[in-house]
Every structure is written in C-alpha cells, then in structure tokens.
Amino acid sequence: MSDGKQDFPVCFLENMGKHLKKSVPLRDYSNFKIGGKADYFFEAVSITELVKSILLARERSFPYFIIGGGYNILFDDEGFRGLIIRNCVQGIKQIGEKAEIEVLAGTRLEDLINFSIDKGLSGFEFLAGIPGTVGGAVFSNAGAFGHSIGKFLKDAEILNRKGKRVKVKRDYFEFRYRHSILSKQNDVFLRAVFKLQQGEKGEIKSRIEENLEKRKINHPPWDAAYAGSYFKNPVLPDGRRVPAAHFLDEVGAKNMKVGGAVVYGGHANFIINKEKASAQDVLSLAQELKERVKERFGVDLEEEVIFLPAGSSTP
Ligand SMILES: Cc1cc2nc3c(=O)[nH]c(=O)nc-3n(C[C@H](O)[C@H](O)[C@H](O)COP(=O)(O)OP(=O)(O)OC[C@H]3O[C@@H](n4cnc5c(N)ncnc54)[C@H](O)[C@@H]3O)c2cc1C
C-alpha cells in the first residue's frame, strides 16, 4: 500500500470513533470458505456508519468493497488490498396496516421471510433457501422458481456515486435476470420498501416448505462450501433462456476437479470447495468449463459468482 494511504486507519478512527480491524481472513466471510486476508475490515451497524465509512474511503481514494453475507462472492487467495465493509445494518417494519415492508439492506433474507410469515404477507416465498442479505439480493436481483426480488421493490434509498443519499423508484434499478444497475455503477443500496400481498399464514408457510423441499433435490448439503449457481443461465440466439447446467452436463462437467475445487455430482452448475480449494482452483475449473461449453455449443457462459481480485478498487 502506498505511503499516502498509511494514515487511513488513523483518519478512520478520528472520524468514526472506531478502530478498523487489520489482516482479517476473508475465508471467514465467504460461503466458499476461500480467501486470504483483507488489509482492513469494518462492520457497519447503522446507516450512518455505513455511509460515513464509504464516503471516507471515497474521499481518500482508499480501495474498498462492500459485502453482505458473502454468499455470492469468491475472494482472492491474496485477500484484499484495502477495506472490506460488511453491511450489518438490519431492521424490518411493516408500513401501517399495508402489505408493505420497509427493510434495511443488511437484513438477512431469512429474517425477511420470517417477518413476512408473521405478518401474513405473501410474495417472498420463492426466497426461502436463498442465503444472504437484502442488499446482496437486490444487487443481483436474486431469484428462484420464476420470481425475483426486484419485482416486489417499490422504492428505495441509495447512496449514489456522487455521495448523496437519494430516494429512487423501482425503474431506477433496471432489474433483469440476475442484474440490477447496482452491478453497473457504484451505488450503495441502503433500504427499500417492498410491496407484497395479504395472505394466509398457513398457506405461506406450506409454499415455503414446498420450495425448500424442491431445493433439497438437486442442491448440495446445506454445509457445503459454495456460492450457489456458478454461471448465469445463458440466452440463446432464438431468445430462449436455457439452464447453464444443461450445457455443463453435456460437456461432462459433473465431478470435474481442479485441486480442491469440484463440480457437484448432483448438479453441474455448482462448484464446491471440497478439499481446501484455492480461489485459483475454482477459477481454473470455471475457465475449463467455459471453454468446453464454448467449443461444443458456441455458448458463452457468464459468471453469476462475483470474484473480487485482491488489487481491485471500487471506482
Ligand atoms: C446455498 C446457496 C443457494 C443460493 N441460491 C440462490 C438462488 O436460488 N437464487 C439466487 O439468485 N442466488 C442464490 N444464491 C446466491 C446468493 O445467496 C445471493 O446472490 C444473495 O443475494 C447474496 O447476498 P449476500 O448478502 O451474501 O451478498 P454478497 O455475496 O455479500 O455480495 C454480493 C454482491 O452484492 C453487493 N452488495 C451487497 N450488499 C450491497 C449493498 N447494500 N449495496 C450495493 N451492493 C451490495 C456486493 O458488493 C457484491 O458485489 C445462493 C447461494 C448459496 C450459497
């Protein structure tokens, strides 16, 4: 790290009244259980802390990266040369008697689902079994069974590129399959209001149980170290979106292995850290899979899992 950046922890302490943690192993914050040490690490527990820490890093041109639950991230074996900000800003409330919920971005999806059940609000049943925070889910427009989270978002508050907290409507996010504008520009999602429907608690619960059962069929065991689907489902020239697993199956992906990284035998779109895999093992295996699919079908697979190189910097 260059000399001009050495005083960042001091400046952080002066402005935030809190110490940054140093040399934090990122494998502890990723479901892949892979990753070297981050130079600095901070857990923001309020919107003020989250916003102030980001603005400070931006003002100082100090490299930073925001994470939620770390369920969709592959960290570098070399860790991260900068500051990882973990968003732990949690909170949920119902708006009056309406079928609307206001949620802070660091809230766990599991808590959001339990809150919806408790209030008899239906819509989020498809999220059952998807781990992570609301922020991470909005970032990639997380979804399953033909639904995705963006469809339910009514309005939100973000910290924009210019460092301003602004209110935006659903359209702002440009939600598409596993995409929102957050993955294209440097906005931070802070909170949102989601619009659901009144429902019956028992029915909501049984739909959730059904979804969880469906997931059990082809997902690895709950304690497997992986980040969900590795590749997005590609769109073919005729406009059809086809499961990536279809192509991966055809090229013999299941049980393929590089170092400690293995393609799950029960579903070809899951790469698992089986035996102390390195990030490099996972990346090499993914590259081999992409090449095979390209060669055989002419299809370009795009990663759904986000790889964070050690030397990268949020613009
Ligand atoms: C077992 C398993 C099953 C899964 N099943 C599914 C599934 O069915 N469908 C699906 O879509 N995904 C699935 N995933 C992937 C993952 O759960 C989702 O992508 C989830 O939304 C990630 O949330 P997170 O908080 O862990 O995000 P992280 O992994 O921490 O971060 C992901 C990205 O979001 C960004 N981000 C996080 N918070 C914010 C914020 N507040 N503002 C701006 N950017 C932010 C980060 O910078 C990063 O780029 C699965 C993962 C696992 C391990």
**Residue pair 131/71 in contact by the 8 Å Cβ criterion:** yes
Q: Which of 54, 87, 120 is the last residue of a domain?
A: 87
Residues composing the chain: 315
pLDDT of residue 46: 98
Q: Are residues 159 and 249 in the same domain?
A: no
- 30: domain CATH number is 3.30.43.10
- 233: domain CATH number is 3.90.78.10
Task: Establish whether 178 is a catalytic residue.
Answer: yes
Q: Nearest 5 degrees, angle CA 289-CA 244-CA 234?
A: 110
Closest CA relative to residue 124, chosen from 142, 139, 140, 136: 142
Mean pLDDT of 94-103: 95
Q: Are residues 103 and 190 in the same domain?
A: yes
Of all protein residues, whose CA lies closest to atom 49 belonging to ligand 1? 306
Task: Kindly state the tokens that stand for 144.
Answer: 């399953």
pLDDT of residue 185: 85
- Compute the distance between CA of residue 67 and CA of residue 133 in angstroms, rounded to an integer: 9
Q: Are residues 114 and 61 in the same domain?
A: no
pLDDT of residue 111: 98
pLDDT tens-digit series, residues 135-187: 999 999 999 999 999 999 999 999 999 999 999 999 999 999 999 999 888 89
> Residue 167, Cβ neighbours under 10 Å: how many?
11
Of all protein residues, whose CA lies closest to atom 33 belonging to ligand 1? 136
Q: Does the CB atom of residue 144 touch ligand 1 within 6 A?
A: yes
pLDDT at 200 exceeding the cut of 80:
yes
Question: Distances in Å between the alpha carbon of 217 and those of 116, 214, 268?
Answer: 25, 6, 13
The residue segments making up the domain with residue 189 are 92-216
Residue corresponding to tokens 């980001």: 54
Q: Are residues 51 and 71 in the same domain?
A: yes
pLDDT at 19 exceeding the cut of 80:
yes
Mean pLDDT of 94-118: 96
Mean pLDDT of 202-221: 94
- Compute the distance between CA of residue 45 and CA of residue 139 in angstroms, rounded to an integer: 19
Q: Does the CB atom of residue 88 touch ligand 1 within 6 A?
A: no
Closest CA relative to residue 79, chosen from 113, 29, 147: 29
The alpha carbon of 11 and the centre of ligand 1 are apart by a number of angstroms equal to 31
pLDDT of residue 186: 86
Q: Does the CB atom of residue 132 touch ligand 1 within 6 A?
A: yes
**Residue pair 97/40 in contact by the 8 Å Cβ criterion:** no
> Mutual orientation of helices 8-16 and 47-59 as an angle, nearest 10°?
150
Instruction: Name the active-site residue from 178, 191, 278, 292.
Output: 178
Q: What does the DSSP 8-state code read for residue 37?
A: E
H or E segment to which residue 203 belongs = helix 201-218
> Mutual orientation of helices 109-119 and 201-218 as an angle, nearest 10°?
150
For the beta sheet containing 100-104, the strands, ordered from the edge strand earlier in sequence to the opposite edge, are 92-94, 100-104, 188-195, 153-159, 165-169
Mean pLDDT of 264-275: 97
- Compute the distance between CA of residue 260 and CA of residue 165 in angstroms, rounded to an integer: 43
The alpha carbon of 182 and the centre of ligand 1 are apart by a number of angstroms equal to 12
Q: Does the CB atom of residue 189 touch ligand 1 within 6 A?
A: yes
Confidence band for 313, pLDDT divided at 50, 70 and 90: confident
Q: Does the CB atom of residue 74 touch ligand 1 within 6 A?
A: no
pLDDT of residue 315: 62
What average pLDDT does the structure give for the chain?
Answer: 96
How many domains is the chain built from? 3
pLDDT at 3 exceeding the cut of 60:
no
Residue 8 counted as domain residue:
no
Instruction: Name the active-site residue from 30, 122, 140, 229.
Output: 229
pLDDT tens-digit series, residues 69-93: 999 999 999 999 999 999 999 999 9
Task: Establish whether 313 is a catalytic residue.
Answer: no
Which atom of ligand 1 has the smallest separation from the CA of 105?
Answer: 41
pLDDT tens-digit series, residues 276-307: 999 999 999 999 999 999 999 999 999 999 99
Q: Does the CB atom of residue 106 touch ligand 1 within 6 A?
A: no
Residue corresponding to tokens 């709950």: 222
242: left (phi over 0), alpha (psi -120 to 50) or beta: beta
